Structure 1
Amino acid sequence: MNPQDPFSQLRDIHLPDPGGFWPPAPGWWMLAILAMAVSAALIWQILKRRQRNRWFRAAWSELALLESSAAPNARWFLLLNTLLKQAARERYPESHPEALTGEAWVEFLLATAPTHRVASRPVAEALVESAWRPSVSTEPDQALAFARLWLGGQKC
């Protein structure tokens, strides 16, 4: 070391100690809070939708039970009509479909069916009429196909 050289008295550059990962910067805290809020809102929406569509799942399970016990008699068609009216009451409460009968009920079913309205008219009419007539005028398979078509278009 030369006492007359002021540069010889300088020390080498020292890097600061590396910072740890904890505690995170304020931006990371805000991002974590935002992520938790979005996750909570998404879970709430999913649960709310599941609750709102419980009738839809119940209707499909009831339709599966009716399908396994399909019989060409008035009682079976009455049960199928009851199922469709319950589903219609849940999906369209403002229309009061549970009070509809006969031609008005057929028109409601066709108006709320997703597609094939003209082709479905004879089946819908037979489905409604077979519930109260002693002899049925359609096959259960055709009525089930119409019920599946109608329920399939009711997704929320």
Structure 2
Amino acid sequence: MNPQDPLSQLRDIHLPATGGFWPPAPGWWVLALLILAVLTLTVVALLRRRRRSRWRRQAILALIDLEQKAEPTPVWFARLNTLLKQAARECHPESRPQALSGGAWVDFLIATAPEGQTPERHQLEAMAHAAWMPTVQADPAEAIRFARHWLGGQKC
């Protein structure tokens, strides 16, 4: 260092110290709030969807139980019709399906059947009337197949 040279007495350029990672810039706070809001809305939507489809899960479990105990008796068909009416009440409350019976119940099942596969009327009539007949003419396997298809196709 030369004492006569004033430039030699100057220090080199020093950059300011970095600010560190905390506290984050305002943009990061906004991003964090947006992510939190999206996550909250997603969880709420999933919980609502799960709550709305609870009846379907319960109906399918009851249908599996009925399938394991399938027998061509009026009591069994009455339980199947009750299960379908409970599911229909959840999905179509404005139609009051729990009050339907006979031909009106069969018409309702045909009208609300999933698109693409309309069930045969005589099979549904046999299933619906089997609960009141002393001898059952309906096949439990066909009734289970229809019930599974009908439950799976309900849009609620």
* 1:116 CA displacement: 1.5
* 1:5 CA displacement: 4.5
State TM-score, norm by structure 2. Answer: 0.91
2-structure distance, mates of 1:48, 1:26:
33
Instruction: State how many pairs are aligned.
Output: 155
- Residues 1:91 and 2:79 are matched in the alignment: no
1-structure distance, mates of 2:48, 2:64:
25
Q: Which residue of 1 aligns with 2:74?
A: 74
* Secondary structure of 2:16 counterpart: coil
Q: Deviations over 1:32-70 (max 9, x none)?
A: 112112111111111112112211111011101100110
> What is the alpha-carbon root mean square deviation over aligned residues?
1.5
Q: How does 1:134-145 map to 2 (within 5 A)?
A: 134-145=134-145
Is residue 102–residue 128 contact of structure 1 (8 Å, CA) maintained in 2?
Answer: yes
2-structure distance, mates of 1:111, 1:120:
12
* 1:28 CA displacement: 0.8
Q: Which residue of 1 aligns with 2:46?
A: 46
The amino acid that maps onto 1:143 is A
Q: Which residue of 2 aligns with 1:116?
A: 117
Is residue 74–residue 130 contact of structure 1 (8 Å, CA) maintained in 2?
Answer: yes
Q: Which residue of 1 aligns with 2:101?
A: 101
Is residue 75–residue 131 contact of structure 1 (8 Å, CA) maintained in 2?
Answer: yes
The amino acid that maps onto 2:80 is L
Q: Which residue of 2 aligns with 1:14?
A: 14
* 1:3 CA displacement: 5.5
How many percent of aligned residue pairs carry the same amino acid?
A: 59
Q: Deviations over 1:92-124 (max 9, x none)?
A: 00111111111111111011111321x432221
Consecutive unaligned residues in structure 2, runs of 5 or more: none
Is residue 85–residue 98 contact of structure 1 (8 Å, CA) maintained in 2?
Answer: yes
Question: Which has the higher mean CA deviation after the structures are superposed, 49-58 or 2-11?
Answer: 2-11
* Secondary structure of 1:84 counterpart: helix
* Secondary structure of 2:120 counterpart: helix
1-structure distance, mates of 2:37, 2:92:
33
Q: Which residue of 2 aligns with 1:23?
A: 23
Question: Which has the higher mean CA deviation after the structures are superposed, 8-17 or 48-57?
Answer: 8-17
2-structure distance, mates of 1:54, 1:6:
84
